[in-house]
Amino acid sequence: MAITRRGLLKGAAAGLLAKPAVGQGPAVVTRRRFKAWISRGDGRGRTTLQEATLRPISGRQVVVRTQATNLCYSNVGAVLGVQPNVAGGGTPPVSALAAPPGTRRMNDMAVIQGHGGIGIVEAVGPEVRRVRVGDQVCVSGTPQCGSCYHCLRGRSDMCQFLSAIGADDLTAIADLSDGTPVYENSHIGGLAELMVTFEEWVVPLFTKAEIVDLGMVCSCVSVAGLGATASQGLATIAPGATVAVVGCGPLGLSAVQGARIAGASKIIAIDPIRARREVALKVGATDALDPNVEKDNLIQRVRGLSSWPTDRLWSGGRNPGGRRPGAGADFVVEAAGADQVPPKLEAGPDPTGILPMQQAYQMCALGGHIITTSLVRGNITLPGNLFSIGGVTHHGGQAGGMSPMRDIPRFVRMLESKQYDSKTLATTVVSLDGMLEAYEQVAYRTTVTAIMTI
């Protein structure tokens, strides 16, 4: 057979594509038994440590042996079985983004809660290409398929795979000894020795970073804070800019760090809890404000701190006062959110999270940017004309608008280069057995955040 250029190219292409095109061999998963925190029923005590037996996997499923997972505050209600703290806040309105009511009730199902984590791939379905057995991966809170409508438009934080996480959408991944099927929150879980997920949710990591540090930077809250500030997914923080961060939980504290990494010259951290303000100052904030002390003066204080060296308008100045003040933060990251239970440390001014969000909007400079990340309880009212013609650009998004496959590996590089400080944020580290106790600390805000390692 004659050797032709076309034939050579065809051969090369076939070689290149052969492996990924056919995927990997079928997974060999025996009926592996593993420990998992199973949530079921209503009220306190709904989450117990049990043994489950893994079901065989198929297609794009990936089995990950958990190394570390973050105990996320937004999961408090489901794990501890506590009612949301609605005192003074009324009942939550039905969200357009909430999972539709299904034929079965999530609380009646045996569900492993959690928002993903990091671990080692133990098995893959035959269609999986992104990761291999033995890879260390992040099971991301936000999937990225790369081919849905939103992924194709650069908004993988809105990946359509995330739209099917209601009770009727979940796939059983294991069984309890009495035959009860076991499901996972959002197809990812985390509070167990194993996570079984789909390829869309995993990001391979190539790093030698220590497990707690890596678990912290890859947690849903850290990637959201870094996403909002250092991924350039929603807004690009200009070097030298003034950034205000409203709410300094692990998400806000990651946003403080992201603002520092992005080159902000002033970073104003706002939180009612003294310990959190101190952590904020340690990881990069230049100023820290207590909303309980500042009260109605909070917005003026942020404007004062973001004032310019000159108010001479012919000289590039910003006039802080007047009907159209030149002052205000160039970028505001809102990361406060509603209380799920009344905190045991300093409570903020509004348990619904609405007031901090309104204040965040109003402390933004005219023409500036606000990035909202938190879950509030209720509807937001804003001054209409400020909203309409104030020039403030609002960026809302999942996980700070980050793109998992593009950004999580970059965030890991930020950890390795010591730009991102995981250690100061991971104030509680527990084993699988200590999970529930640590979740109480997270719920009552007596720790910044907790990482469970296995």
Specify the residue, 79 or 145, whose C-beta has the smaller distance to Zn ion: 145
CB of 85 to Zn ion, least distance (A): 18
Specify the residue, 54 or 220, whose C-beta has the smaller distance to Zn ion: 220
Residues in contact with Zn ion by the rule CB under 5 A: 72, 115, 145, 148, 151, 159, 220
Specify the residue, 72 or 243, whose C-beta has the smaller distance to Zn ion: 72
Q: Sheet containing 287-289: give its strands across.
A: 287-289, 266-270, 242-246, 329-334, 364-372, 393-396
CB of 149 to Zn ion, least distance (A): 8
CB of 372 to Zn ion, least distance (A): 16
CB of 196 to Zn ion, least distance (A): 18
CB of 147 to Zn ion, least distance (A): 6
Residues forming beta bridges with residue 47, ordered by sequence position: 39
Specify the residue, 249 or 348, whose C-beta has the smaller distance to Zn ion: 249
Specify the residue, 64 or 145, whose C-beta has the smaller distance to Zn ion: 145
Check if the beta carbon of residue 207 is closer than 8 Å to that of residue 449.
no
Specify the residue, 81 or 320, whose C-beta has the smaller distance to Zn ion: 81
Specify the residue, 140 or 352, whose C-beta has the smaller distance to Zn ion: 140
CB of 13 to Zn ion, least distance (A): 26
Specify the residue, 361 or 439, whose C-beta has the smaller distance to Zn ion: 439
CB of 303 to Zn ion, least distance (A): 32
CB of 382 to Zn ion, least distance (A): 26
Specify the residue, 159 or 415, whose C-beta has the smaller distance to Zn ion: 159
**Given the DSSP bridges, would you call strands 61-70 and 136-139 parallel, antiparallel or unpaired?**
unpaired
Q: Using H for helix, E for strand and C for coil, what is the string for the chain?
A: CCCCHHHHHHHHHHHHHHHHHHCCCCCCCCCCEEEEEEECCCCCCCEEEEEEEECCCCCCEEEEEEEEEECCHHHHHHHHCCCCCCCCCCCCCCCCCCCCCCCCCHHHCEEECCCCEEEEEEEECCCCCCCCCCCEEEECCCCCCCCCHHHHCCCHHHCHHHHCCCHHHCCCCEEECCCCEEEEHHHCCCCECEEEEEHHHEEEECCCCCHHHHHHHCCHHHHHHHHHHHCCCCCCCCCCCEEEEECCCHHHHHHHHHHHHHCCCEEEEECCCHHHHHHHHHHCCCEEECHHHHHHHHHHHHHHHCCCCCCCHHHCCCCCCCCCCCCCEEEEEECCCCCCCCCCCCCCCCCCCHHHHHHHHHCEEEEEEEEECCCCCCCCCCCHHHHHHCCCEEEECHHHHCCHHHHHHHHHHHHHCCCCCCCCCCCEEECHHHHHHHHHHHHCCCCCCEEEEC
CB of 175 to Zn ion, least distance (A): 27
Specify the residue, 29 or 151, whose C-beta has the smaller distance to Zn ion: 151
CB of 10 to Zn ion, least distance (A): 31
Beta carbons within 8 Å of 387's beta carbon, 6+ residues apart: 361
